[in-house]
Amino acid sequence: MPKAARLALALGIFVVAVALAVIGAMAYLRSNPPNVDYAAGHQSGQPVHLTIQTVGQIGFGAHPSWVSYLALAPDGRWVHSTLWQLPAHTLVDVTVYEYDTGGPLRNQVFGSVSGVIGDDYVLNGKPVRLLDSNSGNGVAHTFSVPALGINVPLWGVPSSAKNICAHAPCSFSSVHNVITFSFRTPGPGQYHWQCLIPCGAGFLDGNGGPMQSIGYMGGFLKVVDA
């Protein structure tokens, strides 16, 4: 084989290898965390039930000590993901099992409930519109969708409790709070949501690590046409 042909072959193999590596990396990045699909098979006019939990430490994976959200997939599995696909213009009934300890908010304005139906929610059976994070257990996390005006502060569990969950998914045998609320999805689009509590302990201003990572304390509501 002439030298030029050998060179072209080597170059071709190199280009294909690089392309495969890039495609593989992109495929991995796009699949992790997975998309939890609540829109597939959704019947028009029916509400979507979104059940999620917040944990003080996920207990597995690359960052077992990080705080995190998990979602209960329609097939009954707890999935470590913050990418939730929802049908457009649909009522979403949310149940949050909150397993993390709380504390005072950096900005007390996020102790107010907003953007949900009725502008209040139910915390352990009691209606709530505003949480005072300077008393009691404080606020552990928030579920906030700035583009939709949604802010839901999640009351913390007592740090003195002996049965604090240390490994997700947490079960009902661990100390937890139950929060329920509803909101209506807008038109199709990707809506960024995040926790507004700087709960990335050990990072600058508490806003690094899990606060900056999809799959932990922030993600997207992927609203699609039903």
Contacting another protein within 7-36 (CB under 8 A) = none
Applying CB under 8 A, does 156 fall inside the site for another protein?
yes
Question: Least separation, in Å, of the C-beta of 107 and another protein?
Answer: 6
Q: How many CB atoms lie within 10 A of CB 66?
A: 24
181 close to 131: Cβ distance less than 8 angstroms: no
With contacts defined by CB under 8 A, how many residues of the chain interact with another protein? Answer: 81
Nearest CB to another protein, comparing residues 88 and 201: 201
Applying CB under 8 A, does 153 fall inside the site for another protein?
no
In whole angstroms, what is the distance from residue 217 CA to residue 215 CA? 7
**Residue choice 35, 37, 108, 188 for contact with another protein (CB under 8 A):** 108
**Residue choice 50, 83, 94, 157 for contact with another protein (CB under 8 A):** 157
The total number of residues shown for the chain amounts to 226
Question: Least separation, in Å, of the C-beta of 58 and another protein?
Answer: 9
Contacts of another protein in 165-224 (CB under 8 A):
167-169, 171-178, 192, 194, 196-199, 201, 204-208, 211-213, 218
Question: Least separation, in Å, of the C-beta of 46 and another protein?
Answer: 16
Applying CB under 8 A, does 88 fall inside the site for another protein?
no
Q: Are strands 91-98 and 121-123 parallel, antiparallel or unpaired?
A: unpaired
Question: Least separation, in Å, of the C-beta of 143 and another protein?
Answer: 13
**Residue choice 33, 59, 186, 188 for contact with another protein (CB under 8 A):** 59
- Only one of the segments 2-10, 37-45, 86-94, 134-142 lies at the binding site for another protein (rule: CB under 8 A); that segment is 134-142
- Asked if the bond preceding 33 is cis, omega within 30° of 0, the reply is yes
Question: Least separation, in Å, of the C-beta of 182 and another protein?
Answer: 15
Q: Which residues contact 93 (CB under 8 A, 6 or more apart)?
A: 47, 48, 49, 50, 180, 182
Q: Are strands 121-123 and 177-184 parallel, antiparallel or unpaired?
A: antiparallel
In whole angstroms, what is the distance from residue 157 CA to residue 177 CA? 7
| Torsional class of 115: left (φ above 0), alpha (ψ -120 to 50), beta (otherwise) | left
